[in-house]
């Protein structure tokens, strides 16, 4: 049983799919600047979702696009004095790195807008043929008045939309809420040829055209951040219903909540954007995933470095508890709880709560039952895309360090404390002119990644690779 909140019906719905072949589309990034924590959330929470669909034995066809041409890319690249392609490629690589380090499954299709210009043009023609768009001085626009269900997805009122429309609206639109399907190129801007004139696609049309080309006229799940509901998804829906009025474009619309920095919504205009890859480098993919797992995907999630540290500590407790076990779905009770939580609109915080309850109660269990529990917890985390690699390497090095220092009668508590004691012992050997012992100490220490520099008092460095 899988229940999910559908943004279109604004209710929790029991998921009913006509086939085991499931089509999922996730709106990917506009590659104009480095990924921030919000991009991380969207990619990870929908990675949990896709992995869970696979766990339920669905064959998932997953597409996530890259918007590699857009007004912001043009502006940013000209500010940096580079071509729009160069900027898009550079930023795409940063996203690729983040997705990979977060251990997100690679999509089956990762289309770029600039690779689908022909399909986009054909799609716009279809909308024009249905008389639901018009050509003006500055581009081709969707005629929102011709689509009666406009704003049904976002639930917005037309007045709000009009008053929220930017002042820089083109004067040649029939109505301020009409949006561009094709923008004619201004002097110096990149362009592609079309029947209407040289230009580039509007933002929304690429998703309609790429979904249609790659996945077909109807898909099961359309995912993205809830900041995309309006205008992006509203407009995608309008275009797709205009081109294919008898098709149900999307069965379930799923949207993740935003990240808040100290209670503020994270947005570029607020200037409080952090770089995702820095956090991944510091904490590792598992801890980042665990941080995202701690909130239900639709809720807003607070973000601070303290919360990441807290996630690290909590995650390490789980890693410590399940170390030396192999994954296996042995504890049926816990597997049922896993499915119950995930089936309840991917209630991952509830799942973590249940797992900790089991860990806390496990001291009373006999050894074999405890091992079943450990194997099952590992299985659940593996199913959700956790690797435990970093946590376990760190545990291994702590163990290794403790064994090493034990040879010199030092009880290892931290690297600093152990090294302070170690240096005193070695200095004593040097004072006694026992240089051979001092050298053995220096060389063996280097083998475990710690370097001592003689001549500089107390100087040592530590490299945990
Ligand atoms: Zn999109």
For ligand 1, the distance from its centroid to the CA atom of residue 230, given in whole angstroms, is 11
Domain boundaries, the chain: 3-256, 269-387, 390-462
For ligand 1, the distance from its centroid to the CA atom of residue 283, given in whole angstroms, is 30
For ligand 1, the distance from its centroid to the CA atom of residue 39, given in whole angstroms, is 14
For ligand 1, the distance from its centroid to the CA atom of residue 248, given in whole angstroms, is 17
For ligand 1, the distance from its centroid to the CA atom of residue 194, given in whole angstroms, is 22
**Which CATH fold topology does 269-387 show?**
Isoleucyl-tRNA Synthetase; Domain 1 (1.10.730)
For ligand 1, the distance from its centroid to the CA atom of residue 120, given in whole angstroms, is 13
For ligand 1, the distance from its centroid to the CA atom of residue 229, given in whole angstroms, is 10
For ligand 1, the distance from its centroid to the CA atom of residue 29, given in whole angstroms, is 9
Task: List per-residue pLDDT tens for the chain, 465 residues long.
Answer: 999 999 999 999 999 999 999 999 999 999 999 999 999 999 999 999 999 999 999 999 999 999 999 999 999 999 999 999 999 999 999 999 999 999 999 999 999 999 999 999 999 999 999 999 999 999 999 999 999 999 999 999 998 888 776 655 556 899 999 999 999 999 999 999 999 999 999 999 999 999 999 999 999 999 999 999 999 999 999 999 999 999 999 999 999 999 998 655 555 555 555 689 999 999 999 999 999 999 999 999 999 989 999 999 999 999 999 998 999 999 999 999 999 999 999 999 999 999 999 999 999 999 999 999 999 999 999 999 999 988 777 776 778 888 889 989 999 988 889 999 999 999 999 999 999 999 899 888 887 778 887 776 677 877 654
For ligand 1, the distance from its centroid to the CA atom of residue 272, given in whole angstroms, is 24
For ligand 1, the distance from its centroid to the CA atom of residue 400, given in whole angstroms, is 49
For ligand 1, the distance from its centroid to the CA atom of residue 342, given in whole angstroms, is 25
Give me the long-range contacts of 125-134 (CB less than 8 A, separation at least 24): 125/195, 126/242, 126/243, 127/181, 127/239, 127/242, 127/243, 130/242, 130/243, 130/245, 132/242, 133/181, 133/242, 134/174
For ligand 1, the distance from its centroid to the CA atom of residue 27, given in whole angstroms, is 4
For ligand 1, the distance from its centroid to the CA atom of residue 284, given in whole angstroms, is 28
Q: Take residue 365 and report the two structure tokens written for it.
A: 């269990």
**Domain 3-256 is of which CATH architecture?**
3-Layer(aba) Sandwich (3.40)
For ligand 1, the distance from its centroid to the CA atom of residue 465, given in whole angstroms, is 40
């Amino acid at each position: 049983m899988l229940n999910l909140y559908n943004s279109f019906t604004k209710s929790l719905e029991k998921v009913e799919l006509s086939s085991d072949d499931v089509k999922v589309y996730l709106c990917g990034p506009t590659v104009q600047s480095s990924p921030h924590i919000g991009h991380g959330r969207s990619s990870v929470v929908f990675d949990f979702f896709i992995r869970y669909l696979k766990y339920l034995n669905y064959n998932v066809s997953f597409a996530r696009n890259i918007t590699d041409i857009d007004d912001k890319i043009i502006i940013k690249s000209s500010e940096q004095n580079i071509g729009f392609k160069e900027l898009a490629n550079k930023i795409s690589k940063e996203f690729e790195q983040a997705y990979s380090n977060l251990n997100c499954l690679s999509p089956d299709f990762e289309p770029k807008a600039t690779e689908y210009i022909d399909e986009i043009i054909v799609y716009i023609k279809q909308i024009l043929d249905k008389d639901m768009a018009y050509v003006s001085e500055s581009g081709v626009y969707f005629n929102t008045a011709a689509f009666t269900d406009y704003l049904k997805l976002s639930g917005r009122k037309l007045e709000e939309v009009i008053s929220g429309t930017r002042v820089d609206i083109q004067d040649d639109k029939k109505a301020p809420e009409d949006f561009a399907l094709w923008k004619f190129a201004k002097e110096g801007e990149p362009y592609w040829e079309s029947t209407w004139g040289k230009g580039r696609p509007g933002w929304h049309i690429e998703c309609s055209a790429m979904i249609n080309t790659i996945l077909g006229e109807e898909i099961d799940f359309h995912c993205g951040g809830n900041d995309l509901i309006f205008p992006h998804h509203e407009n995608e829906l309008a275009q797709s219903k205009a081109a294919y009025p008898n098709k149900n474009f999307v069965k379930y619309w799923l949207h993740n909540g935003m990240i808040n920095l100290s209670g503020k919504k994270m947005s570029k205009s607020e200037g409080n954007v952090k770089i995702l890859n820095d956090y991944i480098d510091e904490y590792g993919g598992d801890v980042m995933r665990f941080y995202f797992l701690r909130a239900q995907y639709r809720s807003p999630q607070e973000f601070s470095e303290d919360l990441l540290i807290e996630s690290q500590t909590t995650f390490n407790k789980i890693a410590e508890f399940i170390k030396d076990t192999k994954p296996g779905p042995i504890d049926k009770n816990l597997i049922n709880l896993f499915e119950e939580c995930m089936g309840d609109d991917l209630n991952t915080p509830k799942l973590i709560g249940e797992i900790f309850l089991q860990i806390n109660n496990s001291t009373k269990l006999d050894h074999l039952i405890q091992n079943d529990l450990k194997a099952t917890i590992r299985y659940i985390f593996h199913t959700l895309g956790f690797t435990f690699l970093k946590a376990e390497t760190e545990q291994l090095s702590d163990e290794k360090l403790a064994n090493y220092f034990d040879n010199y009668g030092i009880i290892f508590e931290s690297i600093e404390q152990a090294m302070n004691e170690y240096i005193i012992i070695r200095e004593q050997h040097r004072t006694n002119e026992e240089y051979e012992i001092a050298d053995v100490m220096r060389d063996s220490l280097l083998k475990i990644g710690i370097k001592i520099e003689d001549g500089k008092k107390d100087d040592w460095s530590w490299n945990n690779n």
